[in-house]
Homo-oligomer: A and B are copies of this chain.
């Protein structure tokens, strides 16, 4: 280990806290010190490394490219350390299982099944983080994440829970029951989008759709998205499995189904390594639950 290359650790800690919070005051709060302390540490770290980590134009600080690289390493580095400390001091056992998922999956799949888990493992405490952003598992104390994708998360282990393509749907009230609207028609219709990052928005971005159609978009909270679609308030991009029954019942029409390889779907994403008992129980349970549902 090349310890000589390791800068003063307090500077790294301050920088990591700043990168996490985005401003020096909040970083100071996070570490329990004053904002001036953070400011000094940031400056001394930059002079020590002789690398610009922060872009000081403007009244707030932004990370440079080098700063982003460093902050990522620090986030996972300190995160792993904190995790290990929690592990050996027993803080981790006492803490509830943190499950990160998207609002869409939480509402449509996970929450209806949770009572069964609670019944089977009454001792396990769960904590759902329905945060749509992709996060580094170890840094935030997340035990397991459930994400839509093709199973390729570098450094992570993924297990398919629900195989399903993306689909564009709308209520017959909006697009009519018979004729298939053309692409141009779709662009003229109102669209409902989920707030923030979500499966649907990722799909739109991947297909470069969002740029072309700035008009007629309505941002709604994820849990209201499907209700809005059924209600004819707009066109929605979502995961097919969640609207299968609506389509069958005629409440929604599938306007376009993504014909990707069938590796896309919701995956259980965990870190390699040993799992604590509560996590193991949850993972085993959800895998069985998924295989029975599929």
Of the four ranges (under 10, 10 to 19, 20 to 34, 35 or more), the interface on chain A belongs to 35 or more
Inter-chain contact B73/A80, CB cutoff 8 Å = yes
Q: In the complex, what residue of chain B is closest to A12 when comparing beta carbons? A: B81
Q: In the complex, what residue of chain B is closest to A83 when comparing beta carbons? A: B73
Give A contacts to B, CB under 8 Å. 1-7, 9-10, 12-13, 16-17, 20, 30-32, 49-51, 66, 69-70, 72-89, 91, 139-141, 154-157, 271-273
Distance of A80 Cα from B75 Cα, bound (Å): 10
Distance of A175 Cα from B218 Cα, bound (Å): 81
The 10 A-B pairs at the shortest CB distance, nearest first, are namely A154-B272, A73-B84, A9-B9, A77-B77, A66-B88, A155-B272, A77-B81, A77-B80, A73-B80, A155-B155
24 A-B pairs in the complex with CB atoms less than 8 angstroms apart: A1-B75, A1-B79, A3-B17, A3-B31, A4-B32, A5-B82, A5-B85, A5-B86, A6-B81, A6-B85, A9-B13, A49-B85, A49-B89, A50-B89, A69-B87, A70-B84, A70-B85, A70-B88, A73-B84, A76-B77, A77-B77, A77-B81, A155-B155, A155-B272
Q: In the complex, what residue of chain B is closest to A4 when comparing beta carbons? A: B32
Q: Within the oligomer, what is the number of copies of this chain?
A: 2
Q: In the complex, what residue of chain B is closest to A77 when comparing beta carbons? A: B77
Inter-chain contact B154/A6, CB cutoff 8 Å = no
